Structure 1
Amino acid sequence: MLAFVGLIKPIIPSVLVLWVGFLIYQFGFHNQHLSWVFYVSMALLTILILCADFLANKYFVNRFGGSKFGEYAALIGVVIGCFVLPPFGIIIIPFILVFIVELIQGYSFERAVKVSIGSIVAFLTSSIAQASLGHKSLKKQQ
């Protein structure tokens, strides 16, 4: 359940919390064991989730008409946003960086705002993907 809090308060690394929960479940309950198939599928989903955080920003900034530099600004913004202004930095920093980069590229104010909104859409999409991983893991443990 704590991993779901990480979706709302992004400073909590929800995927890491899920793995701690898996290990506590595996080694804390003697009569319940998770299979290797479970761990392999969760490892693959974890890799997918981690890539989704970065690639979603790149994809949606591009999809909303951003430049290559805007895409890279979104990626850098996600990393910086994890550490600056938690928990809101992961939303605000990519938005601001993409906005500034697009203005520097010569785009209009309106277009820079539109492209920056792509970074917010990316965050929401990534959160939905993380929620599905958490839901799958909770369903498996029941």
Structure 2
Amino acid sequence: MDILGWSLVILLFVVGMAGTIYPILPGSVAIYAAFFVYGFFFSFDELGIIFWILQTLIFIVLFIADYAVSAWGVKRFGGSRASVIGSTIGLIFGPFVIPAFGLIIGPFAGAVIGEMMAGSNFEKSVKVGWGSLVGLFTSVVVKIILQSVMIALFVLWLVF
């Protein structure tokens, strides 16, 4: 049972980190779920209330930062609400429509189309599209850092 428990925890960590790049995977949710898997297979006693408070705070910050940082990129480059929505739609559907490059093309195209629908000219819309990519890449970096902190905190909590 120990091997199964640790295998599931590690698998959830891998899925979580993959979710930083591929937004369809439940990144931070998978990592958070790994803590519950550990508790069910081994013990919740080792983790304690401080652990859960810290992890929950990071988890909440991840959810807020994921949307806020992406939206920041679009807004920073002069985008409207329509381009934020378009970028989000592109981020979700892009990888399915264009499997190899959809993660990059989707948010860019979604932001451009959204901004053009809001009445902006093509030049401004393309600028906003670039902003969506800046936001996307910044969001990925933030998620990698915070999710790595979640995993490191878990490991350190068990070691010490």
What corresponds to 2:82 in structure 1? 69
Following superposition, the deviation at residue 117 of structure 1 comes to 1.3
Note closer, same or farther for the CA distance 1:82–1:92 as it changes in structure 2 (3 Å cut). Answer: closer
Following superposition, the deviation at residue 8 of structure 1 comes to 3.0
Q: Do residues 13 (structure 1) and 26 (structure 2) align?
A: yes
Q: Read off the aligned partner of 1:81 and give its amino acid letter.
A: F
CA contact (8 A) 1:10 1:88 kept: no
What TM-score results when the alignment is normalised by the length of structure 2? 0.71
Map 1:1-142 → 2, pairs under 5 A: 1-2=13-14, 3-30=16-43, 33-78=46-91, 80-81=92-93, 84-85=96-97, 89=102, 91-140=104-153, 141-142=155-156
Could you list the runs of 5+ residues in structure 1 that have no partner in the other structure?
A: none
Cα distance in 2 between the residues matched to 1:42 and 1:70: 32
Following superposition, the deviation at residue 71 of structure 1 comes to 2.8
CA contact (8 A) 2:19 2:26 kept: yes
Note closer, same or farther for the CA distance 1:16–1:64 as it changes in structure 2 (3 Å cut). Answer: same
Q: Give the paired residue count.
A: 141
Could you list the runs of 5+ residues in structure 2 that have no partner in the other structure?
A: 1-12
CA contact (8 A) 2:88 2:110 kept: no
Cα distance in 2 between the residues matched to 1:9 and 1:73: 18
CA contact (8 A) 1:49 1:126 kept: no
What TM-score results when the alignment is normalised by the length of structure 1? 0.79
CA RMSD of aligned residues (A): 2.7
Q: Which has the larger radius of gyration?
A: 2
Following superposition, the deviation at residue 120 of structure 1 comes to 1.4
